[in-house]
């Protein structure tokens, strides 16, 4: 299996390259943003762009920046490689570009490639379906390191979407994020978000269902981002050669 890494000098890119080799696959090479000042690791083949990398790979793994996701979607939709996409902070237009690319190639997209969060996503949907929205207020709390550029985290939004799916609503219609000032009372059925930033926190997420007489909280703490990298490599090996489609880590893990 030949796997390439887009943004190979990034925090995640470097770990993904290591995990590809640790899993016994071939590292086909990597790309970096021109002028990023980030060096491609010694001994790794540098490709000028994502299309050239894909031409030499069975799958490419992309943990870069939302600004370039739509361009990557356009470049990869004409390739034969599967696309594992971990970049977060995507706009609705970016999501549409990813869905369009998935008509031509296999795409595995997840806000979190860790197995624990993938299970948490499934549980959040089940709780959303089981607990009446009128009685149980859903709140998603997250904390990440000081370098993170988007909020709420992609994982937090994914958890909110899972609760919304369980409730049969669209997250966009009920999302309450960035509360500040005189907000008024909590709207019934809202799914709230709170984001903390600081230190070196790899990722903490809690899904809280708060009723008058009880609270139910599910918490996940990630201690090493290598776990995301290993999950992304597992997804790449699973997706290579699969028919076109938009897959999730739940598909990779076989969780319904
Ligand atoms: P980072 O800033 O350390 O790395 C991003 C890298 O991408 C940089 O090296 C940058 O130069 C490179 N890059 C940007 N545009 C590029 C382009 N056009 N071509 C090639 N390279 C380009 O950030 P990071 O901590 O590695 O995170 C990257 C992304 O992955 C973020 O969106 C983050 O939220 C996400 N992330 C997702 C998961 C997950 O499991 N889905 C886990 C961790 C991080």
Give the per-residue pLDDT at 128.
98
* pLDDT category of residue 196 using cuts at 50, 70 and 90: very high
38 lines ligand 1 (CB under 6 A): yes
At residue 163, does pLDDT exceed 90?
yes
In the reported structure, the alpha carbon of residue 207 is separated from the centroid of ligand 1 by a whole-number distance in angstroms of 25
Closest C-alpha to ligand 1, atom 18: 33
Integer CA distances (angstroms), 25 to 43, 61, 76, 83, 198, in order: 16, 13, 21, 16, 35
* 131-151 per-position pLDDT tens digit: 999 999 999 999 999 999 999
* 73-123 per-position pLDDT tens digit: 999 998 999 999 999 999 999 999 999 999 999 999 998 899 999 999 999
Residues of the chain above pLDDT 90, percent = 94
* pLDDT category of residue 253 using cuts at 50, 70 and 90: very high
Cβ proximity of 206 and 218 under 8 Å: yes
At residue 36, does pLDDT exceed 90?
no
* pLDDT category of residue 42 using cuts at 50, 70 and 90: confident
In the reported structure, the alpha carbon of residue 166 is separated from the centroid of ligand 1 by a whole-number distance in angstroms of 30
Q: Which residue from 4, 11, 142, 144 has its CB within 8 A of the most atoms of ligand 1, so it is best to mutate?
A: 11
- Please identify which of the residues 144, 145, 205, 242 carries the catalytic annotation: 144
Cβ proximity of 86 and 66 under 8 Å: no
Q: Tell me whether residue 250 is one of the annotated catalytic residues.
A: no
In the reported structure, the alpha carbon of residue 13 is separated from the centroid of ligand 1 by a whole-number distance in angstroms of 7
């Amino acid at each position: 299996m030949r796997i390439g890494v887009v943004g190979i000098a990034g925090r995640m890119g470097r770990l993904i390259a290591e995990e590809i080799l640790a899993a016994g696959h071939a590292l086909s090479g990597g790309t970096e943003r021109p002028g990023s000042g980030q060096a491609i690791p010694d001994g790794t083949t540098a490709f000028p762009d994502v299309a050239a990398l894909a031409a030499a790979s069975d799958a490419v793994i992309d943990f870069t920046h939302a600004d370039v996701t739509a361009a990557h979607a356009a470049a990869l939709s004409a390739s034969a490689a599967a696309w594992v996409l971990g970049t977060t902070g995507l706009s609705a237009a970016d999501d549409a570009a990813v869905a369009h690319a998935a008509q031509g190639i296999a795409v595995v997209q997840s806000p979190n490639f860790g197995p624990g969060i993938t299970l948490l996503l499934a549980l959040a949907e089940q709780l959303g379906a089981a607990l009446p929205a009128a009685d149980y207020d859903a709140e998603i709390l997250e904390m990440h390191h000081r370098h993170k550029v988007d909020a709420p985290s992609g994982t937090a939004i994914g958890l909110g979407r899972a609760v919304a799916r369980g409730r049969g609503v669209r997250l966009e219609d009920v999302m309450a994020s960035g509360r500040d000032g005189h907000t008024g009372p909590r709207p019934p059925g809202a799914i709230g978000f709170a984001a903390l930033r600081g230190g070196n926190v790899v990722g903490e997420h809690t899904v809280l269902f708060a009723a008058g007489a009880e609270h139910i909280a599910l918490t996940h703490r990630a201690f090493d981002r290598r776990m995301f990298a290993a999950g992304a490599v597992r997804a790449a090996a699973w997706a290579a050669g699969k028919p076109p489609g938009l897959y999730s880590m739940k598909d990779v893990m076989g969780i319904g």
